[in-house]
Amino acid sequence: MKNQSPLTGSELLRTASANKSTAFTEEERDQLKLRGLLPAAVGSIDTQIERVLANIRRKDSDIEKYIFLSALQDRNERLFYRLIMENIREIMPLIYTPTVGQACKEFANIFRTEKGFYITANDRGRIREILDNWPNKDIRIIVITDGERILGLGDLGANGMGIPIGKLSLYCACAGISPEQTLPIMFDVGTNNEELLNDPIYLGLRQQRVKGDAYFALMDEFVSAAKDAYPGVLIQFEDFSADNAFALLNKYQENTFCFNDDIQGTAAVVLAGAYASSRISGTPFKDMKFTFLGAGSAASGIGDMIANALMDEGLSDEEAHQRLWYFNSRGLVNRAMENLPEHIQAFAHDLPDHDFLQALEIHQPDILIGATGRPGMFTQEIIEKMAAIKQRPGIFALSNPTSRAECNAKQAYTWTEGRAIFASGSPFDPVNHDGKVLRPGQGNNSYIFPGVGLGMIACEAKTIPDSIFMESARALAATVSDADLEAGSIYPVLDEIREVSLHIATAVAEYAFNNDLAGKDRPDDIRAYIKSLMYQPNY
């Protein structure tokens, strides 16, 4: 493809979106004043990928690979995204979970160039003005975090910028959103992490977190400014504390084009896994029961969506909620507990205070879901209890990054004699158990949010109700093949994620058109229309 950029010479080579480096042709080198600025050999994107992969594989640690890939993104955007697309299983864990957790912890140490936008508590009253400082104007999606609950790592303050950067890389690679239409934002209102506040190289505001009315007033200003600066922009809230996550979603969901990935995206991917697991266990979804270890925003979001899905199967509200039992740090969630957070109150039942193993024995869950952020919480005794209760127990160890998972894949398979239906938030390698290779399912939100974002942007929706995520869960579950199930996996292979995203985007857009949620006329062929919008990182 001929380069249409008006840029020339070294300026062109320093512009990541236009640079092709050694792939500029002889003709382009003359036309664009590149002669002498590049070595003689004219390569292709394929040879460049081969060279990049060789360099990555020579690195000794994943964080060094992350830094290398970040630098590649800065100098040759198309090569970066083509590399991810063609090597998704190898590269995705390096640009997102689990490596992104370490990258956030070390953010100040590895900071090289600005990749996102920072809004601080000191910017009150001028957020709309400073948004004009961002060079790209056709922004279709913003991912914003305040860094208070990064993965399972807690309050990382401004170091949390690694999360929006990583999420938007996946939007581009997995769903074809153009990089120039994305904006990662760090909503820096301080941190309560004393280690960071005392770190001389920390890059964020050195103050305790802004709370209460002042916090929400600042967010109101941002949301209003973003809508004005980028009409029709989709705002994705990411890694907020449970209280703020629910408060923001409840405040904006009905009047703003937005969603919370930790609450709704996580719920959808877990619901899809539950649908798919029923094909392995033989237990109809409407008859399933679930026990949760952890009762934060992700866990309660999952419960809300599963309860709604059960009601769609004909259960009453009370019957659906009785299928879901929760354990938090204080024990089995019941109505006798005082000061229960609002988001978990619907799951408090009239139950005596059993210990966890007793609760499993009484409740007899089909699926055990971990969302604790604490490693090793699914002990051998717990997993063996699940194996005694169910022939094909579902073990969903969802906490990220990998180091925070409630158990690993090998443990789940070993302690259940290979019978577990295992899923995790971060990737685990296949496990050879008694001569059979079992492929753990990665119940990662990357199977959901890119497709939902693409479909909603394509149909120009104004809001995103929970029903959209219910639809995305059904669409994801439908992509799980018999071969996936035979390998023990309840999610499709990662290599298919771009096609999966297109399938989900088509399903949610069709739902939006059918339910008066779309802001534009329905195209004759929804799938073909959406596919035509997808960014292709080619030269």
Same domain, 279 and 232: no
Structure tokens at 73: 């993104």
Domain presence at residue 150: yes
The answer to whether residue 513 sits within a structural domain is no
For residue 365, what are the domain limits? Answer: 264-446
The answer as to whether 126 is a domain residue is: yes
- Whichever domain contains 417, its CATH number is 3.40.50.720
Boundary (domain end) residue, out of 211, 237, 256: 256
Residue 371 lies in a domain: yes
Question: Which pLDDT does position 353 carry in this prediction?
Answer: 84
The reply to whether 276 and 304 lie within a common domain is yes
Together in a domain, 232 and 345 = no
DSSP string of 48-80, one letter each residue: HHHHHHHHHHH-SSHHHHHHHHHHHHHH-HHHH
Residue 5: the pLDDT is: 52
* The predicted structure's pLDDT at residue 354: 87
Residue 471 falls within a domain, yes or no? no
Instruction: Render each residue's pLDDT in the chain as its tens digit; 539 residues.
Output: 444 558 999 999 999 999 999 999 999 999 999 999 999 999 999 999 999 999 999 999 999 999 999 999 999 999 999 999 999 999 999 999 999 999 999 999 999 888 999 999 999 999 999 999 999 999 999 999 999 999 889 999 999 999 999 999 999 999 999 999 999 999 999 999 999 999 999 999 999 999 999 999 999 999 999 999 999 999 999 999 989 999 999 999 999 999 999 999 999 999 999 999 999 999 999 999 999 999 988 899 999 999 999 999 999 999 999 999 999 989 999 999 988 988 899 999 998 888 999 999 999 999 999 999 899 999 999 999 999 999 999 999 999 888 899 999 999 999 999 999 999 998 899 999 999 999 999 998 999 999 999 999 999 999 999 999 999 999 999 999 999 999 999 999 999 999 999 999 999 999 999 999 999 999 999 999 999 999 999 99
Residues 374 and 244 in one domain: no
Do 285 and 335 share a domain, yes or no? yes
Q: Is residue 524 part of a domain?
A: no
Q: Domain with 151 in it: what CATH number?
A: 3.40.50.10380
416 and 292 in a common domain: yes
User: How many CB atoms neighbour CB 435 within 10 A?
Assistant: 6
Q: Is residue 61 included in any domain, yes or no?
A: no
Say which residues have a Cβ less than 8 Å from residue 497's Cβ, sequence separation at least 6. 88, 174, 446, 447, 450
Kind and range of the H or E run holding 210: none
Domains: count for the chain? 3
pLDDT of residue 401: 84
Domain stops at, among 256, 281, 307: 256
Domain co-membership, 291 together with 315: yes
User: What DSSP state is assigned to residue 426?
Assistant: S
The residues assigned a catalytic role are: 96, 167
Look up residue 315 and give its DSSP letter: -
**What pLDDT shows up at residue 3?**
47
Is 283 in the same domain as 418? Answer: yes
Q: Name the domain boundary from 446, 468, 501.
A: 446
- Contacts of 240 by beta carbon, 8 Å cutoff, 6+ apart: 145, 146, 148, 149, 248, 260, 262, 297
Residues 310 and 278 in one domain: yes
What CA–CA distance (Å, rounded) separates 281 from 85?
33
Residue 317 shares a structural domain with residue 439: yes
Q: Supply the pLDDT for residue 443.
A: 92
* 335 plus 395 within the same structural domain: yes
Whether residue 441 is found in the same domain as residue 294? yes
- The pTM score is 0.93
CATH number for the domain spanning 31: value is 1.20.1370.30
Flag whether 192 is in a domain. yes
